[in-house]
Amino acid sequence: MTLAGRDFLAMTDLSAPELLEVLGLARDLKAGKSSQVGRGKTLGLLFRKASTRTRVSFSVAMYQLGGQVIDLDPSVTQVGRGEPTQDTARVLDRYVDALAIRTFAQEELAVFAHYCRIPIINALTDREHPCQALADLLTMQESFGALAGLTLSYIGDGNNVAHSLMLGCAIAGVNVRVACPEGFMPDPDIVAQAQTLARTSEVIVTHDPVRVASAAHVLYADVWASMGQESQAQDRAPIFQPYQVNEALLTHADPKAIVLHCLPAHRGEEITDGVMEGPQSRIWDQAENRLHVQKALLASILTP
């Protein structure tokens, strides 16, 4: 495995061949291939943000690889009392074999990566959510057989999920379109980076949800107010209402289009209940695939 011992802080830490390698291993593991590469090893979970899918999928993945998991809850460790990040990093580096970190600032991951010899995995920051993008790409690959030439349309807030999708799709040769309200567009640096990476595909950012949905193979929804922005949810609702993924918007997509949502969902807000439970939804497959891609990622980086 080319990823042995490496950090995974952002989608751009993977080249196109490496991305396809991880997805291929995820398919094999999902189909029943066994690996015990984690035997005798411990994964630390340092989560400053609440989590269901990320926490459980990483834990199950590591257990299935033969390893153990320790939950480094900030509320019951010195992390929550303000111990300097570099001090925590150097201590944990001597205890565990890899760290999955879910936090606010991307810069915190960089500090851990600098002071740790063990692999650091981005389990979500305010800037990126690369493990989610891996699961999304695997779900698309399962649905259509190949990634190159597909079109994914993300509709909603230009947040961390949008960032990793733009980068991941660009690397994989997938056309990516993003529609956001004025004032909620993705980071211009991420957009420019994705456009540079997209050698065989296109990256479009607009305010028009119908335009991005037209003939798309994937419609993607996410919450209108991410973690830490809950106080803004009521004010955002009328701004984002035209960006709801609903039955009317779905008629503009390819007839065989699928619908994705990274969860948790606010049914009746960013996505209707009918679309979420409809025949084109692959949301539960997508959620399951968090386990398989993270298991593949762990197996890759923990390989001696």
By annotation, the residues acting in catalysis are 102, 129, 132, 222, 262, 290
Give CA–CA dist 286/58, Å, rounded. 15
Which residue has tokens 């990516």?
176
Q: Are 154 and 218 in contact (CB under 8 A)?
A: no
Helix, strand and coil content of the chain, in percent to the nearest 5, comes to 45, 15, 40
The CA-CA-CA angle for residues 177, 178, 182, to 5°, reads 145
* CA–CA distances in Å: residue 47 to residues 125, 267, 270: 10, 26, 26
Q: Are 123 and 49 in contact (CB under 8 A)?
A: no
> What Rg, from alpha-carbon coordinates, does the chain have?
19
